[in-house]
Amino acid sequence: MSINDLRSSLRGSANKEQAKILQKFFKTGPGEYGEGDLFLGIKVPLLRSISHKHLNLTFDELQELIKSQIHEERMSALMILVKRFPVSSTAGKEKIYKFYLKNAKNINNWDLVDLTAPQIVGGYLFDKDKRILEKLAGSKNLWKKRISMIATYGFIKENQFDTALNIAEKLLNDENDLIHKAVGWMLREIGKRDIKTEEIFLKDRYKRMPRTMLRYAIEKFSENKRKAYLLGKI
């Protein structure tokens, strides 16, 4: 199947009312983080089903999709890469990983990052030098920074927390709410597996963390402990 077949399937599944909802939900207005993003209005399960029928697309075709202004076209390309990654050869995985990072500026909404960075970036770097994540965390690009944090979910799931904590430290004073949420989320995931490790990290930092980041990080704590953190009485 070709890129035209995929696009035809996507447009055949478009939903104008759902598209209007998504345009607002993903903040696509002037000056918002998703400014200019266009939606067809296809929900994730259906989009994934369509994408997985086109796994044979070439990297040139995937490049065309990932540069598209249409959100679902970019997501479709990424879903294809996620599906192909675990069954690819070592060289194939490296190619997917490099393609992903080369196109990081086009992975430009939080759902695009969250559904793909742990599998591709986290999956590739799992047993490798992870300093590239520090570079991404230091970028001025919002989405590269979010990739650096969310990619560590792949390590957290395997009870490897050091890289996630390192990236969280580097992003602790970031000004963007989407980074606050990403860091808080990953800290929460660490705490679900090892509460002591999360609390050691929070101890000397929670009073200076952005409020949203802290709320996300302590979401699974008991009510009394959450209140204590929010009141600065730990």
- Per-residue pLDDT at 75: 98
* Residue 36 CB-half CA count within 13 A: 6
Single-letter residue type at 132: I
- Mean pLDDT of the region 112-120: 98
Rg of the chain over Cα atoms, rounded to whole angstroms, equals 19
Structure-model confidence comparison of residues 57 and 1, the more confident one: 57
Give all domains of the chain, ordered by start, each with its CATH number. Answer: 1-87 (1.25.10.90), 106-234 (1.25.10.90)
End-to-end CA distance of the chain: 58
- Per-residue pLDDT at 234: 87
Answering whether pTM is above 0.85, one says: yes
What is the per-residue pLDDT across 65-92, written as a single tens digit (0 to 9) for each? 999 999 999 999 999 999 999 999 999 9
Cα angle 66, 69, 70; round to 5: 85
